[in-house]
Amino acid sequence: MAALVGCSWTRTGRVEPGRVLPDGCMDLIRSGDQTIVAGPDTTAYLAAGSPHPIQGLRFRPGVLPRLLDVPAAEVQNIRVPLHDLRTVRRDRSLYELTADLASGRPGTTTAPWSLPTLREVTNRLADGAAVGDIAHATGWSTRTLQRQCAAVYGYGPAMLRRVLRFRRAVRLLSAGLPAADVAAQAGYADQPHLHREVRDLAGVPLRQLASGAYRSTDVPSGSSTVA
């Protein structure tokens, strides 16, 4: 299961509205009697909150589409009930649902690569590798890789690289590093580049993102969430 799921969470109290930050992941979220699929985000998603206790599983990038056999691009920037995508038993826990979904044979569109290859492509994009270099190393054409990434991740490799770099920057900001150090360590050209990307992907200025009011929390999303 660890190869599929990055983390899980449970919130027993009311979940307040929050700003969900893109991180390249997708979630299964249980709220009340409904299970929701949180698609991959290209910008911050404003979550409405919930009066119900919430449980969630956050899947590693590219994993949940292969389990659902639904191209990630079809659920980009949206939240949709799981039963609209797949017929599942409603009495199953999220981990049991994951095991049920994983027991099926993945489709060639949503799972064109093995899990080890998926991890390799994700890691190389996170490290900033050029799309052409990855395509050459894996034996695909650049055009094929672009098409496959849309189905696997929900967006092309260049966008995924931006999102993964942004996720790294958010973690560094949460650790208290100054913006100049964050820009250098996360792989931005300079500090203004970091500021532009934060504005585009978080929808708020960097200062606001890094402030205590925008501290990271483990609430449901599809991504990291800030208050």
Residue 142, number of CB atoms within 10 A of its CB: 15
Structure tokens at 23: 């991180």
What ranges do the domains of the chain cover?
Answer: 5-107+217-225, 115-157, 167-211
- Cα–Cα distance between 166 and 189 in angstroms, integer? 13
- The four Cα atoms 47, 227, 3, 119 give a dihedral, to 10 degrees, of 90
Q: What is the per-residue pLDDT for 216?
A: 39
pTM for the full model? 0.88
Judge contact between 8 and 40, C-beta under 8 A. Answer: no
pLDDT computed for residue 139 by the predictor: 87
Task: Decide if 110 contacts 69 (C-beta within 8 A).
Answer: yes
In 3D space, the residue among 219, 226, 221 whose CA is nearest the CA of residue 53 turns out to be 219
pLDDT at 221: 42
Which residues, in sequence order, are CB contacts of 14 under 8 Å at separation 6+? Answer: 49, 50, 51
* SS3 track for the chain: CCCCEEEEEEECCCECCEEEECCCCEEEEEECCEEEEECCCCCCEEECCECCCEEEEEECCCHHHHHHCCCHHHHCCCEEEHHHCCCCCCCCCHHHHHHHHHCCCCCCCCCCCCHHHHHHHHHHHHCCCCHHHHHHHHCCCHHHHHHHHHHHHCCCHHHHHHHHHHHHHHHHHHCCCCHHHHHHHHCCCCHHHHHHHHHHHHCCCHHHHHCHHHCEECCCCCCEEEC
pLDDT of 213: 37
User: Which pLDDT score, from 0 to 100, does residue 223 have?
Assistant: 43
Residues comprising the chain, all counted: 227
Low-confidence ranges of the chain (pLDDT < 50): 213-227
Q: Minimal CA–CA distance to 169: which of 8, 63, 21? A: 21
Expressed in angstroms, the distance from the first to the final Cα of the chain is: 30
pLDDT at 18: 83
